[in-house]
Amino acid sequence: MDRLLFNFVLALEGVNANKLRSFLTALGIIFGVSAVIAMLAIGSGAKQSILEQMRLIGTNNIVINSVAPSSEEGQALGQASDGQESGQQSQGKRPYSPGLSLEDVSAIETVLPAVSSISPEVVIPLSVVRGNRLEQLRCVGVTNAYFGLNNLGLSAGAWFHDMHLEKGAAVCIIGKEIQARFFSQENPIGQQVKCGNNWLRVIGVLEQRNVSRESLSQLGIRNSNADIYIPVTTAMLRFKNRGLVSQDDLGRDDSDENQPPENYHQLDRVVVQVDDSRKLRASADLIARLLKRRHLDQVDFEVEVPELLLEQEQKTQDTFNLVLAVIAGISLLVGGIGIMNIMLASVLERIKEIGVRRSLGANQQDIVLQFLFEAVFISLIGGLIGIVLGIAAARTISAYAEIPTVVSAWSILLSFGVAATIGLAFGIFPARKAAKQDPIKALRSD
């Protein structure tokens, strides 16, 4: 142990005697380790972002969005299955489609055996009044399945009862922002709020969900904190059921190009959850074919699988991380070669020192340990500086490039271990060459 400690002290003295050269030697390790830290931080941040997005949209979900009619040149929404315009389209009339409806929801549940949960949604923008406060907000008609699919919990109150859903009861569940706006000084449970022309009784308050605006826009989801949720049957009975033909609809002249076409979809969105992620693609294809047939060959809907889109995003991110890893690996390789090169030059400069040590009783193992300790020490110094620069680079990237980064403890340990390994791997050859010097010839050298 004394000999080992003595060799270590000699190595430190050798590095200290050539500070500038030791620092320049460690530059390759510094840049390589900092690149590894930044790369792992970007990869971990991207993975955490993907997991957060998965938590927001739920797993194994298929999203069906209704396509609102367009008024451009009086053209129809969908086209016939052969891609040709129908006779009605050529005459400037929209082809008939019943639109996305609750009957479609029942048909999907009946036909698709893989369905574990299904949530219809209808969004109704309207004015909300309570006391002297008036705001333009959204009422969202849903079932209790909506809250389960979106991982939403209650902070107070209760979910909708079966009776609420069956009879279209005048009840609602509000988000935290709604509570802060209209019920800041009192318990909202049991209180009344006027939505449009209907008074609704608050039976529940959702838990606060902190979501960035970027996530809301990228995922196409709503801010659950700022919405009022009502039973979907309440939306149909007490507000407006777009699936029903009214007297106004019969009297409207569709040939008027200045009149925007009415949205005929009963529902705005349907979310279907399947019991196995391997069935996502097949289930989405089956749903698309089913809806196209039910909508009389009019593709006035969009079927999306968010999880598959996120998986593709993850693959792209993994490719990017691989490129960063290759760059970091090249930097570390160059740093290791630099250490070996400088240590070989150091051996040639210190041949007489090696001869003196050998003449005083040092064996080959002592010489190997001395030069190996020098290489490892230079590598570790470079690793420590690289870790500091890597953490700083990760925080800079997160602050200015708006890319999420997460610096974990294991990435720091990994980088430190890589730096030590490079010192050992590229320092052992110069150390062995120094130990094999003939002590007699070494003493005679100038």
Same domain, 276 and 346: no
Q: Are residues 361 and 274 in the same domain?
A: no
Residues 250 and 373 grouped into a single domain: no
The end-to-end CA distance of the chain, in Å, is 33
29, burial (CB in 10 Å: exposed 0-12, middle 13-18, buried 19+): buried
Identity (one letter) of the amino acid at 183?
F
- For residues 262 and 77, the answer to whether their CB atoms sit within 8 Å is no
Looking at the 3D structure of the chain, how many domains does it have?
A: 2
Backbone angles phi, psi at 362, to 5 degrees: -75, 135
- Parent domain of 258: 60-305
Quick one: 262 and 374 in the same domain? no
CA–CA distance, 332 with 35 (Å, rounded to integer): 9
Question: Do 175 and 130 have their domain in common?
Answer: yes
Are residues 318 and 287 located together in one domain of the fold?
Answer: no
How big is the chain, counted in residues?
Answer: 446
- Distance (Å, whole) CA 191 – CA 187: 8
Domain end (from 259, 276, 305): 305
Q: Which of 265, 289, 305 is the last residue of a domain?
A: 305
Residues 202 and 125 in one domain: yes
Same structural domain, 243 and 384: no
Q: Tell me, yes or no, whether 129 and 274 share the same domain.
A: yes
Please answer whether residues 98 and 295 qualify as being in contact, where contact means their C-beta atoms are separated by less than 8 angstroms.
yes
Q: Do 236 and 345 fall into the same domain?
A: no
Q: What angle separates helix 306-349 from helix 351-359, to the nearest 10 degrees?
A: 70
Return per-residue pLDDT of the chain as tens, 446 residues.
777 777 677 777 777 777 787 788 788 788 888 888 888 888 777 777 666 666 666 668 888 998 876 544 334 434 433 444 444 444 445 567 888 999 999 999 999 888 888 999 999 999 999 988 899 999 999 999 999 888 888 999 999 998 888 888 999 999 999 999 999 888 999 999 999 999 999 999 999 887 666 555 555 567 888 899 999 999 999 998 887 765 555 455 555 555 556 778 889 999 998 888 788 888 989 999 999 999 988 888 999 887 766 676 677 777 777 777 777 777 777 777 887 777 777 776 777 777 777 677 777 777 777 778 788 888 888 888 888 998 998 888 888 877 778 888 887 888 778 878 887 787 777 777 776 766 666 566 55
Q: Are residues 289 and 410 in the same domain?
A: no
- Same domain? For 233 and 123 the reply is yes
Q: How would you label 157-196 residue by residue, b for 16+ Cβ within 10 Å and e otherwise?
A: beebeeebbeebbbbbbbbbbbbebbbeeeebbeeebebb
Asked which of 260, 282, 305 is the last residue of a domain, the reply is: 305
Rounded Cα gap, residues 319 and 324, in angstroms: 9
